[in-house]
Amino acid sequence: MLSKMISAVYLALWVSSCAFTLAEDPYMTRALKLMSETPLIDGHNDLPWQLRKQFNNELNKVDLNTLETTHTNIPKIKEGRLGAQFWSAYVPCESQYKDAVRQTLEQIDVIHRMCQKYPETFMFATSSKEIMHAFNMSKTASLIGVEGGHSIDSSLGTLRTMYHLGVRYLTLTHSCNTPWADNWLVDTGSEPSEHNGLSPFGKQLIEEMNRLGMLIDLAHVTVTVMHQVLDMSKAPVIFSHSSAYKVCPHKRNVPDDVLRRVNETGGIVMVNFYNDYVTCSKTANLSDVADHFDHIKKVAGASIIGFGGDYDGVTRLPEGLEDVSKVPKLVAELLRRGWTDDEVKAALGNNLLRVMTEVEKVSESLNSLSPDDVPIPYEEVMNPCRTSYGYPNAGAVHSLSSLALLLTLALQALLTLTA
């Protein structure tokens, strides 16, 4: 008798569980169907930086099929239905004025090698058409974004070289000012503004990015820079991994007036999953992330929304979105909240494909223009690690700079001896 009662209890629990699963299943089933028709395009993933930190880019020592110390590996990518990924070629601000270009080139290299090592999973891509080609072959289109203007060392030639290596967006700043743009920390008051947004050279760079067909990424910049770029760019812009400031008033997020301008100019804001930008606290859940999607849709429409998880670049992720495999749950949540199939497909990838296509069209319309070869003024980048070759009138300035550096070092040594 007791065994029959226990069996009955187990049966009731199983039926209850099945009923709950069936009740939830339509949203997930619908989500997976939409993701099979439209590529999930994520704007920012820092797996290449983890390869640097954990393995010094020795990719031969890593198996992405079994790697468990990252948010991203091949099984998680497949479970998460990741159709296309902008891999971040990121190096820290500490490399500015030192070896930022070399280190960035090495990050670009490791992304290329990752695609070469796992051709059954990744297909390198540089255009909207190539994204769809990879998706139709059931591979993850792999694009490159350089995160931080310090990576080009204030050089339009370096920018062009990185474009030729496959880089398709540049985040104008990271968490430091460059010699031509202010970063988001200026808006917190923790750093001074050096350029009131963009310097004249910074504006040159925006025009050259338009000519090249490189996406301008406004994650990490000040609100002033956001407006300046929106005023002057001929092509739509992206925020590769930023959320809504109204929902979480963190200076890395996007204010409502900027969201509306992104809509007016045809750009995209790709929502970041980092807890600190989701709830302005150390904890968050999947529903909190969906709140950002809802708010952006309410303020500026579903046509400007995308996914920019920031996986492997952050230390805290929402409950339910712990790694790249979980993203279909967020898609299902949007459907549960009443998003239409077209709205979800727009956010998944159609918005980004539209932006890329428009950026490519703007570049084609400017192909009669010559590359901008006017360098940044030497006095704006002068430092002990930089030579003045090519600047005809910089020799005396460079000599004075070296003399000033020697005098400073001598004074420091003298103070040390007398202390």
| Tokens encoding 344 | 């979800």
Please tell me which residue in 71, 150, 195, 241 is annotated as part of the active site: 241
- Output DSSP code: residue 303: G
Residue 291 is a catalytic residue: no
| Tokens encoding 186 | 């200026």
Please tell me which residue in 71, 150, 220, 295 is annotated as part of the active site: 220
Residue 227 is a catalytic residue: no
Bridge partners of residue 84, in order along the sequence:
41, 141
Other C-beta atoms lying within 10 Å of the C-beta of residue 163: 19
Please tell me which residue in 217, 310, 323, 343 is annotated as part of the active site: 310
Degrees (nearest 5) of the Cα angle 268, 297, 32? 80
The three state secondary structure string of 331-399 is: HHHHHHCCCCHHHHHHHHHHHHHHHHHHHHHHHHHCCCCCCCCCCCCHHHHCCCCCCCCCCCCCHHHHH
Distance CA 378, CA 275 (A): 41
Q: What 3-state class would DSSP assign to 137?
A: coil
Give pLDDT, residue 409.
52
What's the predicted TM-score (pTM) here? Answer: 0.89
Please tell me which residue in 42, 150, 153, 174 is annotated as part of the active site: 174
Please tell me which residue in 42, 44, 150, 323 is annotated as part of the active site: 44
Give pLDDT, residue 418.
52
Residue 341 is a catalytic residue: no
Residue 241 is a catalytic residue: yes
Distance CA 300, CA 262 (A): 8
CB 204 within 8 A of CB 156: yes
CB 215 within 8 A of CB 166: no
Other C-beta atoms lying within 10 Å of the C-beta of residue 103: 18
Distance CA 251, CA 155 (A): 28
Residue 112 is a catalytic residue: no
Residue 220 is a catalytic residue: yes
Distance CA 279, CA 246 (A): 11
Q: What 3-state class would DSSP assign to 51?
A: helix
Q: For 358, how many CA atoms within 13 A lie in the half-sphere containing its CB?
A: 17
Between helices 351-365 and 128-136, what is the axis angle to 10°? 140
Residue 174 is a catalytic residue: yes
User: What is the full per-residue pLDDT of the chain (419 aa) written as tens digits?
Assistant: 444 444 444 444 444 444 444 445 899 999 999 999 999 999 999 999 999 999 999 999 999 999 999 999 999 999 999 999 999 999 999 999 999 999 999 999 999 999 999 999 999 999 999 999 999 999 999 999 999 999 999 999 999 999 999 999 999 999 999 999 999 999 999 999 999 999 999 999 999 999 999 999 999 999 999 999 999 999 999 999 999 999 999 999 999 999 999 999 999 999 999 999 999 999 999 999 999 999 999 999 999 999 999 999 999 999 999 999 999 999 999 999 999 999 999 999 999 999 999 999 999 999 999 999 999 999 999 999 999 999 988 755 445 455 554 555 555 555 555 55
Say if residue 315 is exposed, middle or buried (CB neighbours under 10 Å; 0-12, 13-18, 19+).
exposed
| Tokens encoding 377 | 């003024």
CB 228 within 8 A of CB 291: no
Which bin fits 45, alpha (ψ -120 to 50), beta or left (φ > 0)?
beta
CA 162 and chain centroid, separation? 16
| Tokens encoding 148 | 């931080």
Distance CA 218, CA 147 (A): 10
Distance CA 90, CA 181 (A): 17
CB 105 within 8 A of CB 146: no
Please tell me which residue in 42, 71, 147, 288 is annotated as part of the active site: 147
Please tell me which residue in 42, 46, 312, 360 is annotated as part of the active site: 46
Between helices 156-164 and 200-212, what is the axis angle to 10°? 20
